[in-house]
Amino acid sequence: MVASTARFSGCMSDFTINGNFLNFATIPRQNVRDVSFSECPIEDTEISVTRTTVLPTFPTDTEESTKEVTVAPEEKCRLPSNVDVETISPGDVEGFKFGDTLTSRHEYVGWKSLRVKATIEIEFKTTSSGGIMLYATDRRKTDFISLIMKDGHLVFSFNCGSGALNLETDQKYNDGKWHTVEFGRNQKTGKISVDGGAVKEGTSPGPTQSLNLRKPFFVGGINPDLSSNDKVKKHLQGVLGSFEGCMRNMKQNYETFGQPNATQKVSSCVANLERGTFFNDQGGYITLYDKYYVGLDFAFNLDIRPRNLSGVILAIYDPAEKGDYIFLQLVDGKVVATADNGQGEVKTEYTPREENALCDGEWHSISVNKAKNVLLLTVDGNNAPAGTGAVGSSEINTNDPMYIGGVPDFTRTGILTDRNFSGCIRNFEIRRGKGELYKAQYLSSGDITGDVTLNKCPRN
């Protein structure tokens, strides 16, 4: 039992554990409260102590911090609030970056035949849950071969004409790390393995053994004409968006893919910038849809890396008049989701242990789920208390703009902050109804107002 719960007040020095010197200066600043490393008052000096929350400061290259200070709210974040993305040196090229648009892709026509057998190898990394990595089909859309990411799992499929084989990995690989997938077929037998691990294998049904494909072969996404075809939708199990991530060292039968014959919105993965959309502190937002209907069931996921403790993340409402709405906001370090269908506001709120915990320079995942009259919020896997509205009053009748990263007017009822979001947003996806797949949303398809940079985020 601890004899006293009072905190120690005074000075310490030369602290050792089992003979090993402990350097207090190496302790992460976010783990320090009400402590000064650089000063200790001399004996008999009268000290006035005021209890404050001491928050981390981060010295610049030209100035080193020598003592803890209490900083203004707008400076409580690990990353600077105002960054000129265009002046950042991109750094080393690490591969091809797909996913800036719905149809981002490479097209190849010079591949060797996949008719009897083929082995394909791709290195990739992503944080997105879904996307097309490779696809080819025939004129009738019967024979096909595909590799997709679905809910974080890799799925390799092919059909030689008498039935499809689908091989799905047990593990998810959307962790933002580089992985190597090897997949292929020999007549009716298919296989897939990741990072040299266990091989998953199967055999396609029916008698046919040869794969008849029509060029081009698509990597990273497909063209719009294919995505509207019902047979193609079935081939790709409803995953129709481009792969949102990086690929490199792509090989067929252990030979490089070579140069693509056509490219659509593919850029370079670089060391100092990463995928996402950057909202600068000067203020800006994206109007993703001019008219969006929320309805009974509506859910969305996104990742944020804030540079300020407050800001509007998502809003669906009519700025010109009162009406139904749904908002997602950061308010003094808290995540707040609210909705109103005219019967009173429903609210759910997530409060982290530390005020600036979500402003630590790391990515954080948020999920919002409106299921009839219940509003659910999850942040980094932690569930906030559910918000519940009036029974029998479930539908949010919006036919209004969807704003991402901010709003045109902060005076609207339900908006709890007077500033737009500052930082990066990525992996925004929406589910329209129960049992439906989440569908990736491409912010590049929206209209930009203010200081917003698409498809690249500064790491620091």
DSSP 306: E
The pLDDT of residue 421 is: 97
Nearest to 425 by CA among 312, 331, 264, 347: 312
Strand ranges in 63-221 using DSSP code E only, listed in sequence order: 93-98, 105-108, 117-126, 131-137, 144-150, 153-159, 164-168, 179-186, 189-194, 200-203, 214-219
- List the domain boundaries for the chain: 1-71, 95-270, 276-458
Same fold yes or no, 95-270 and 276-458: yes
**How many whole angstroms separate alpha carbon 100 and alpha carbon 105?**
10
DSSP conformation letters of 396-460:
B---EEEEES--S-S-STT---SSB--EEEEEEEEE-STTPPPEE--GGGSEEEEEEETT-EE--
Alpha carbon distances (Å) from 289 to 92, 425, 450? 35, 17, 17
Residue in the structure block whose two tokens are 């759910």: 348
**How many whole angstroms separate alpha carbon 267 and alpha carbon 126?**
15
450 and 285 in contact (C-beta within 8 Å)? Answer: yes
243 and 132 in contact (C-beta within 8 Å)? Answer: yes
440 and 302 in contact (C-beta within 8 Å)? Answer: no
68: helix, coil or strand?
coil
Q: Which two tokens stand for residue 325?
A: 């709405």
Question: What is the reported pTM?
Answer: 0.78
DSSP 173: -
How many Cβ atoms from other residues are within 10 Å of residue 282's Cβ? Answer: 12
290 and 354 in contact (C-beta within 8 Å)? Answer: no
The pLDDT of residue 393 is: 72
Alpha carbon distances (Å) from 375 to 243, 326, 335, 393, 394? 30, 10, 13, 13, 10
Residue in the structure block whose two tokens are 């919002």: 368
Pick the CATH number of 276-458 from 2.60.120.260, 3.90.1150.170, 3.40.50.1820, 2.60.120.200: 2.60.120.200
The pLDDT of residue 434 is: 78
Q: Which CATH class is domain 95-270?
A: mainly beta
Q: Which two tokens stand for residue 456?
A: 């690249």
The alpha carbon of 375 is separated from its chain's Cα centroid by a whole number of angstroms, namely 21
286 and 453 in contact (C-beta within 8 Å)? Answer: no
pLDDT in tens, the chain (460 residues): 545 445 555 666 555 455 444 545 445 444 444 555 444 543 433 333 333 333 343 334 443 333 333 333 445 899 998 888 888 888 899 999 999 999 999 999 988 889 999 999 999 999 999 999 999 999 999 999 999 999 999 999 999 999 999 999 999 999 999 999 999 999 999 999 999 999 999 999 999 999 999 999 999 999 999 999 999 999 999 999 999 999 999 999 999 999 999 999 999 999 899 999 999 988 899 999 999 999 999 999 999 999 999 999 999 999 888 889 999 999 999 999 999 998 899 999 999 999 899 999 999 999 999 999 999 999 999 999 999 998 877 899 999 999 999 999 999 899 999 999 999 999 999 998 877 889 999 999 999 999 999 999 998 8
